[in-house]
Structure 1
């Protein structure tokens, strides 16, 4: 996921200054993007202005530097909606930041795109469980170094599988209930 899309999505909600975008990402959006540095935000905003995706007005501030307040342009809107509606290819790890971010913004912008996104994720995770849930999980050792405790390694990997399987089941349950809510609206 490109960070530009997060910024475009936020600007689809309301105009923001670069400072306000960074503050939103630090608090409300802390699970959307971690450690977004202000220089990265301003660099991307500058590129997005050059690309015609956003424009700004200068907001004069008494006793402080003036602020640029950015808003989406029609071209930026088109780019944002193209991202929201673009095909989603689930990665092998579930609860991926790209899915969650795209889903979070898609629900507000295009409910049908959000439904398609959840269906894609749900189908992929169900197939993943079907392929992997009951596969043999025995670790194989061949001439391990003396420090390897084979029994402990097997026990821990089994416990990690149990944790992952439970988390996957919870994720699928969340996807199913979220899909039902989106389809009912």
Structure 2
């Protein structure tokens, strides 16, 4: 996923100024993209204007600098649609930002693509659980540096595993609920 997809997705909802995009990403979009600087947004918007994906109109502001209000062009809309309906390859890490960006912006654009996205993610995470949940997690060749508590190594690793297992189970449960709520069928667990 590229940052362009986040910006195109936001502009599919309504026109934004660069400042408004930054503010939205800082608050509402903080789960979609790591911290972004305003200068990064303006550079990207400039490239997107040059590519013909967005256009802008200048809004005159009394007593403060004028604003450029950006909106999607037909070309930018097509780039977004192509990405939304294109193949999704789940990351090895669940809850990767690409899933949520596609979920957030693709859902309103293409319902079938949204359901395919959720099913793909769900099938991948179920396969991960089946493959890794009951693996042998013992480390037989520990050779710690001085001061490392080996019993604590084992305990912390087990606590981390339990947290990860609970987290992926909650993610799978959420994906199943989203399929049901959004009108899809939940695939069987095989």
Same fold (TM over 0.5): yes
C-alpha distance 78-108 of structure 1, shift in aligned 2 (>3 A): same
Superposition TM-score, scaled by structure 2 size: 0.93
**Equivalence for 1:158:** 158
**Equivalence for 2:95:** 95
**Equivalence for 1:56:** 56
CA shift, 1:143, in A, is 3.6
Deviation per residue, 1:68-96 (Å, 9 max, x gap): 11110000000001111111111111111
Q: Secondary structure at the match of 1:57?
A: strand
CA contact (8 A) 2:8 2:72 kept: yes
Q: Structure 2 regions of 5+ residues with no counterpart? A: 186-190
* Equivalent-residue separation in structure 2 for 1:127 and 1:9 (angstroms): 30
CA contact (8 A) 2:115 2:184 kept: no
**Equivalence for 1:37:** 37
CA contact (8 A) 1:122 1:176 kept: yes
* Equivalent-residue separation in structure 2 for 1:99 and 1:6 (angstroms): 12
Count of aligned residue pairs for this structure pair: 185
CA shift, 1:44, in A, is 0.4
CA shift, 1:147, in A, is 2.2
Q: Secondary structure at the match of 1:145?
A: coil
Q: Secondary structure at the match of 1:55?
A: strand
**Equivalence for 2:144:** 144
CA contact (8 A) 2:16 2:71 kept: yes
CA contact (8 A) 2:122 2:176 kept: yes
CA shift, 1:155, in A, is 1.2
**Equivalence for 1:14:** 14
* Equivalent-residue separation in structure 2 for 1:62 and 1:145 (angstroms): 65
Q: Secondary structure at the match of 1:13?
A: coil
CA shift, 1:5, in A, is 0.8
Q: CA RMSD in A?
A: 1.4
CA shift, 1:184, in A, is 5.4
CA shift, 1:140, in A, is 2.3
**Equivalence for 1:86:** 86
